[in-house]
Structure 1
Amino acid sequence: MASDLAAKAKEAFIDDHFELAVDFYSQAIVCDPNNSELYSDRAQANIKLKNLTEAVADANKAIDLDPSNPKAYLRKGTACFSLEEYQTAKAAFEAGSILAKEDTRFTDWIKKCDKFIAEENGEIPIESSDATPTNVVAPSSATKDDEQVKDTSNEVITTPAKPKYRHEFYQKPEEVVVTIFAKGIPVNSVSVDFGEQILSVKIDVPGEDSYILQPRLFGKIVPTKCRFEVLSTKIEIRLAKAESIQWTSLEFGQNSLVVQRSNVSAGTQRPTYPSSRPTRDWDKLEAQVKKEEKDEKLDGDAALNKFFRDIYKDADEDTRRAMRKSFVESNGTVLSTNWKEVGSKVVEGTPPDGMEMKKWEY
């Protein structure tokens, strides 16, 4: 059954019906979920559809199932290259070249990666007479099955409209923390992969539909410093920023702009949450409120209440217990600070002159 579906998928791919090919490959994977070739082939169809993060996830799964599958490394490398993750792409091509030394496509792609990495680092790459073109196209020796798609660095990679689990993020100068609110998920059901500018999360609980979160991130991260933790109520993922810049969103988009670097030390910077409202200096506002409270001049009951609040704030635990117990038991008519006096008895109410206490009738 799986082989028949795979044959139909390849036929659809040859006819440039890439969506149909992905559908057939997905059906084949259901029948044979441990087949590395099916994942690597679906990765190529996803590359054609510009579903680059999905392609990386498929390639990673293919590698997990069969680390000796060179095609999977080729798929991962080409998808990461289009995502401008040149270091990750180069690592994949190098791993694949070890497995398939006779395949010159890996060597060609490694040269391309070196060129773009050098440009990113501000180095001047050494040009040779037989240098390959710098635009993203497949090496001349590649078959139609291995052609590379156009560079999609400015395209938005979207997640499903109605995800199974809600997620949000906040950030510090040095990291971004992504939280997926999923309760009671077994640790072995969660897989997380980090790229230079890609996050791939999969929650695969037996008997349930898989949850996949694969955003292309707003900025680049350091994969070796990233980590995640599966807790009882959520999954917390910490992304180490490659640069101390403020992310205006979690995902990269067409309108993403380069923002100013953060000059605040990690120890004093508060986590910032994405918002469309004007930004405020909360530290300055807090200091202003405290100053106004200190300088505030009150009269009558307001002044008396402030006096009692100040006592409670600076009191020890016994004094606070006495104040709470006496106030509650006397229905707000007695406020004692002596725990030895009120701790062993019920505090009776003492109404003001000219008034009497009455119990509320239910």
Structure 2
Amino acid sequence: MASELFSKANEEFVNENYGKALKLYTEAVESDDSQDDVFACRAHAYIKLQQYKEAEQDADKAISLNPKNVKAFFRKGIALFHQEKYTGAKEVFSQGQKLDSEDNNFKTWIEKCDAKSSSSLAADLATAASAATASPSGQTETSPVPSVPVQRVTPPIRQDWYQTATHVVVVILVKQAKKDDLTTDIQEKCLSVKIKPPSADNYSTTLRLAHSIDPTKSSVRVVPSKIEIKLKKNEGLQWSKLESDDKDDTVTIKQISTTGEEGDVHKYPSSSVHKHNWDLIEHEVEEEEKTEQKEGDAALQNLFQKIYADGNDEVKKAMAKSFYESGGTVLSTNWGEVGGKKVDVKPPDGMEYRQWES
């Protein structure tokens, strides 16, 4: 019973239905509270829903059941980080790094903790210096001891990305940004972003994407702690990198803000020099896709979709479990083979698997 609920929860998580996944993980825990992986996965769902205190508690439970659960340490660190407990987060990431020294994600998050701790310390020093030089009446006094000027450090805006089977998600970590502060331009092979946030310096970036995406099915979400740009993959490929190394042509693109106003004109690399009117050709594309004889990766992806749609419950469970636990590197239809054990990550030869978290 618990294993079936766990598999269904993983399937909902892969499909980005985090609320449904959380409910199923909870039912699995109620059925059997001795499985550390269930608590670690539920912690991940809590993180996606920005319920960081609950994520911390679940990660603690997973660690108590299995002190070598690397994912639990990683997710506890993320939960603490988002609660602005940077010192504690760094300690947890360091413990996880000792368990898996080859996982560079721990190093990245330790550096993030150090940056946040430095910013917080600088802000505290600035506040203390300001209070020390003010009299009770509010008038500034001349200190007999030369003071060292303290400059408030503005935390840098950081950019990260991760992917699912269907989407690539670019995450820009910036606090208190509003939709009016954001200018985005999403094209088939290019993403351009400009931000003028109140809490940090102005930020702009232009990315030439490694593979094509569908701008009409992509979206932008602004929340208090970050900006998420969700790009719909045109093909069900596992991206090995976000940006292309190819530097063929350049195309002039107008920056269009979220309010519909035109901004500056910039040039950046693109694989196409044509403008697309998606409203006019969307119907044609859909009709072409129905009749198109797919080849290569597209044909393979189409085959997988058909196998899943036509398969019984065990086939679907096996495909969802193997894909989720292997980070998209293994896809099995044999539940008897994968149902009773964890599916290991098996990246293609010459490639390194890296999992990114928001």
More strand by share: 2
Which TM-score band applies after superposition, normalised by the shorter structure? 0.3 to 0.5
Please say which structure displays the higher CA radius of gyration. Answer: 1
TM-score by length of 1: 0.36
Comparing both chains, which one has the higher relative contact order based on Cα–Cα distances under 8 Å and sequence gaps of 6 or more? 2
